[in-house]
A and B are shown apart, each in its own frame.
Chain A
Amino acid sequence: MRAFALLAFAAVGAGEAQASIRLDQLSACADLAATMRELERPSIGCRAPGTVVDVALAKRLARATGLSTCFLVRPPTASLSRFICVTFRTSAGGHMDCMAPADAADVEEYQRNYRSVHAARATAYIKAANRCAVGNGDASRAQWSLMSPFLNYVAQFELGFVLPLGQGLVGSSAALHGFAGLDPQITGSEGDMIEFFSIYLPPRKG
C-alpha cells in the first residue's frame, strides 16, 4: 500500500528524467514575483491532502502545532508545476512550502561530484538568482537551519540555496530551494528524497 502511495506522490510531480538535480527555482524571477503576489493575496483554493507525504505533513503539524494547512489545488506558477504546494496561516506572515519527488541518486551524485562538476553550476545558479528584482542580490548556499520548520516534520535537509527577498539586509523573508531526505516512517523505505521550494514573507504592515 505504501509503495502505491509513494508512486502516487511521484505521479503528481512527474517530470522529465534528469541527469542531475535541477537548479532553477530561485532564478525563475517572474515566477518568484508571481508566487509572492499569490501569498499576499491568495486566490488559489485548497484541497484535502491526498498523497502519503501530504497526509503525514498535515497530521504531524496538526498534532504538534495546531496549525492549519491549505494544500493548493494547483501550484501558483508554471515553474512549480512538478511540485505540490501547501500554505500556512501564521501570525509571522505568508509561508508556502512545495515538495516534489527527487531522485536520491541524483542528489548523491551532486554531492559526490560537487567540486569537480557541480560547483560551477551552483555558482551560476546563485548569480542568476541575484538578477531577480524581488531578491536583495545576496543569494547563497543555505544551511540546514533555514529549512522550513514545517517541512522539518517530514524531511531532513540535505542541501539548498536561499535568496533573501526585499531590499537591503533582509532577515524575515526569503525563498529557499533544495533537497531533503524523507522520514522513512512515512514511505516505509529508506533513502527517499524530496525537492523543496519554500517562501516566507513577513506580515503586511497596516
Chain B
Amino acid sequence: MPATRPVLALLLVGALAAPAWSQTEYDDSSGPGSQGWTVTADPYLDFVRTINGELRGQNAPLFIDAVEFEITRSDRPDDSLERKEALLDQWVSYITDYIELEGFEEMDPERVPEATRVSMEQMREKLRQSIPYGNRNHFGRLGEAMPILIDEYPSDCAGGDGAYAAFIMSMRPAAATRSEYGEVMVMFLGLGDCGPVNPRAKRTLARIKRELTEDFGGGSE
C-alpha cells in the first residue's frame, strides 16, 4: 500500500476509536490455519527508512518498523468477495493473536475517543483520502478490522516511560479476482524510552517483525 506522511501522522496521533477486535473462531477447513494459502511478505524497507529518517529529522521520540502480507489462494476460485473478506478478517485476527503472544494487548476502545476525539469512520476516511485519487479503487478498500495493540510495560525500556505499539490494517481484495484475498499490514512503533535512542527496543521490534515474517510470509503452506 502506498503510504504517505499523512497516513503515518494520522496513526501517530494515537489510537483511534477502534472497536475491540473480538476473538474470531477460525474456520479450520479454509481459515488461516489450513493448507493452500500463499502469503508473501514485503518488509517495506524503503518506506521504513524514509519515515524513520523524517522522524529523526524532527527529533521525534519514536521509530517505526512495518511489514505487509499479501494473501492469496488459488484452490478456491468460487469463493465470493464476501467470503474472501471474512477470511481476510480471520487473517487479521490470526496475526493479532500472534503479536499478543509477544506481550501486546489490544487497546481498550473506551480509552481511545477521550484521547483523540476521532471516530473509526473518520480515521478510515482520512486514511482513504491519503491514498492518491487514482489508486483509491484499487488500493483504498480498507478493511473494517484495525486492531491497535500496546505493550505499555516492556522490559526493554528501563526509564519506564516508553511503550511499543502495533497497528494492524487490512486491504480488501478487488472484486472479480481469482486468487487475491487482500493484504494485511502491520506497523510497529517504539515510543519514548522504547524509542530511537534505545537499541534494545529496535532489536526487539526487528525480531518480532522477522519472526512474524518467517512464520506468516514463508510462501505456500
Partners in one complex: yes
B4 touches A152 (CB 8 A): no
Contact A152 B134 (CB under 8 A): yes
Alpha-carbon distance between A157 and B139 when the two chains are bound, in angstroms:
13
| B14 part of interface (Cβ distance < 8 Å) | no
User: Among B4, B5, B6, B136, which residue has its beta carbon within 8 angstroms of that of A156?
Assistant: B136
Q: Does B138 contact A (CB under 8 A)?
A: yes
CB distance from B217 to the nearest CB of A (A): 22
Partner of A153, one of B6, B132, B138: B132
Q: Distance (Å) between the CB of A185 and the closest chain B CB?
A: 8
**Contact residues in B for A156 (Cβ distance below 8 Å):** 133-134, 136-137
Bound CA–CA A155/B136 (angstroms) = 10
Report B118-161 CB contacts with A as 1/0, cut-off 8 Å. Answer: 00000000000000111111100000000000000000000000
Chain A residue numbers with a CB within 8 Å of B137 are: 156
**How far apart sit A170 and B200, CA to CA, in the bound complex (Å)?**
45
The interface residues of chain A lying within 8 Å CB-to-CB of B138 are: 144-145
| Residues of chain B from 3 to 56 with CB closer than 8 A to chain A in the complex | 4-6
| Chain B: number of interface residues, binned into ranges | 10 to 19
Report yes or no: A64 in contact with B133, Cβ–Cβ below 8 A: no
Q: How far is the CB of A159 from chain B (nearest CB, A)?
A: 13
Query: 1/0 per position for A172-202, CB-CB distance to B under 8 A?
Result: 0000000010010100000000000000000
* Cβ B5 vs Cβ A147 within 8 A: no
Q: In the complex, what residues of A have CB within 8 A of residue B4's CB?
A: 64
In the assembled complex, the Cα of A149 lies from the Cα of B138 at a distance in Å of 13
Alpha-carbon separation in the docked complex, A144 to B135 (Å): 9
A51 to B89 Cα, complex, angstroms:
44
If A64-B4, A64-B5 touch, does A147 touch B132 (CB 8 Å cutoff)?
no
Query: For B136, what are the chain A residues with a Cβ–Cβ distance below 8 Å?
Result: 156
Interface residues of A in 140-172 (CB under 8 A from B): 144-145, 147, 149, 151-157
User: Closest residue to A66 on the B side, CB-wise?
Assistant: B5
Which of A63, A64, A151, A185 makes the CB contact (< 8 A) with B134?
A151
Q: How distant is A105 from chain B, measured CB to nearest CB, in Å? A: 21
Cα(A180)–Cα(B132), bound, Å: 14
Residues of B within 8 A of A185 (CB): 133
Minimum Cβ distance to chain B for residue A86 (Å)? 16
CB nearest neighbor in A for B130: A64
**Cβ–Cβ contact A157 & B132, under 8 A:** no
**Cα–Cα, bound, A145→B138 (Å):** 9
Looking at the assembled complex, report how far the CB atom of B68 sits from the nearest CB atom of chain A, in whole angstroms.
17
Is there an interface contact between A155 and B133, defined as CB atoms closer than 8 Å?
yes
When C-beta atoms are compared, the residue in chain B nearest to A185 turns out to be B133
**Could you tell me the distance between the alpha carbons of A144 and B132 in the complex, rounded to whole angstroms?**
13
Q: With A145-B138, A152-B133, A180-B134 given, name 10 new contacts (CB 8 A).
A: A63-B6, A64-B4, A64-B6, A144-B134, A151-B134, A152-B135, A153-B132, A153-B133, A154-B134, A156-B137
Q: List 5 A-B contacts (CB under 8 A).
A: A64-B4, A147-B134, A151-B134, A156-B133, A156-B137
Closest 10 CB pairs of A and B: A152-B134, A152-B132, A183-B133, A156-B134, A153-B132, A64-B4, A152-B135, A155-B134, A156-B133, A157-B134
